């Protein structure tokens, strides 16, 4: 494969042709916020957090292939003003009680907050959802916490990639959107890859050994 040279924040990088701007940055230890990206899956561009500036335009790094001579900026005020509120919105909407969360310490959102130095005072300006939705225990392979789900779609895409068709898909629209298990329980191969890849721990392993 041929190599391509481009610039990111004044740093000249050489990557393989066909690499996305996000992958190129991550390979070279340059952090660009992201939640819905997974190296083995096609980029959906759904979380909108990997916005960078190229030629004065804001584009998602995950869906933009690197081009020779391209000049990418990840740290301009324009990028920050676009992305920071989205992260803050997500945190305010996420029922941010990390205490007791099984993913705490291994959570992409926590990681994102630390990397972006999210200021809690700014988040507190936002309204938080009053309603706490119940855990969905109907899927055969996991229990689902709709309050914390960021709807990245990684679980859906993972299931599809491994099993040909996905047992999981989105349900409803707008703020009521959530991930739901569709169809045949017997079709779920219980590979549990969906749980493993969830960036924020909303897919909880079934408590099979529970005594009560």
Residue 82 lies near another protein (rule: CB under 8 A):
yes
Residue 58 lies near another protein (rule: CB under 8 A):
yes
Structure tokens at 131: 């309603």
Evaluate whether 91 touches 113 at the Cβ level (below 8 Å): yes
Residues 163-192 that bind another protein (CB under 8 A): 169-170, 172-177
Evaluate whether 203 touches 146 at the Cβ level (below 8 Å): no
Residue 155 lies near another protein (rule: CB under 8 A):
no
Residue 151 lies near another protein (rule: CB under 8 A):
yes
Structure tokens at 22: 């996000």
Quickly tell me which residue has 């169809």 as its tokens. 183
Stated as kind and residue range, the H or E segment containing 63 is none
Residues 91-150 that bind another protein (CB under 8 A): 92-93, 125-127, 150
Smallest distance, another protein to C-beta of residue 200, A: 12
Q: Considering only residues 9, 30, 41, 63, which one is a binding residue for another protein as defined by CB under 8 A?
A: 63
Q: Which value, in Å, is the radius of gyration of the alpha carbons in the chain?
A: 19
What are the backbone angles phi and psi of residue 151, rounded to the nearest 5°?
55, 45
Nearer to another protein, 34 or 193 (CB): 34
Smallest distance, another protein to C-beta of residue 189, A: 23
Q: How far apart are CA 89 and CA 109, in angstroms?
A: 12
Q: Considering only residues 8, 37, 60, 159, which one is a binding residue for another protein as defined by CB under 8 A?
A: 60
The residues with which 171 forms a beta bridge, in sequence order, are: 178
**Residue ranges in contact with another protein by CB under 8 A:** 44-49, 51, 58-60, 63-64, 81-86, 89-90, 92-93, 125-127, 150-151, 169-170, 172-177
């Amino acid at each position: 494969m041929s190599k391509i040279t481009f610039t990111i924040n004044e740093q000249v990088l050489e990557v393989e042709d066909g690499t996305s701007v996000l992958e190129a940055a991550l390979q070279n230890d340059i952090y660009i916020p992201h939640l819905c990206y997974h190296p083995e899956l096609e980029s959906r561009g759904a979380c909108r957090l990997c916005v960078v500036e190229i030629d004065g335009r804001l584009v998602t790094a995950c869906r933009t292939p690197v081009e020779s001579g391209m000049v990418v900026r990840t740290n301009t005020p324009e990028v920050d003003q676009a992305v920071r509120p989205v992260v803050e919105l997500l945190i305010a909407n996420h029922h941010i009680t990390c205490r007791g969360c099984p993913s705490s310490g291994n959570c992409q959102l926590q990681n994102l907050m630390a990397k972006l130095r999210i200021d809690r005072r700014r988040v507190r300006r936002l309204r938080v959802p009053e309603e706490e939705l119940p855990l969905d225990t109907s899927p055969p392979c996991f229990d689902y916490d709709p309050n914390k789900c960021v709807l990245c779609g990684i679980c859906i895409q993972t299931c599809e990639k491994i099993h040909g068709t996905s047992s999981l898909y989105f349900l409803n629209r707008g703020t009521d959107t959530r991930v739901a298990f569709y169809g045949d329980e017997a079709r779920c191969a219980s590979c549990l890859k969906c749980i493993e890849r969830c960036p924020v721990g909303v897919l909880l392993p079934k408590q099979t050994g529970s005594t009560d």
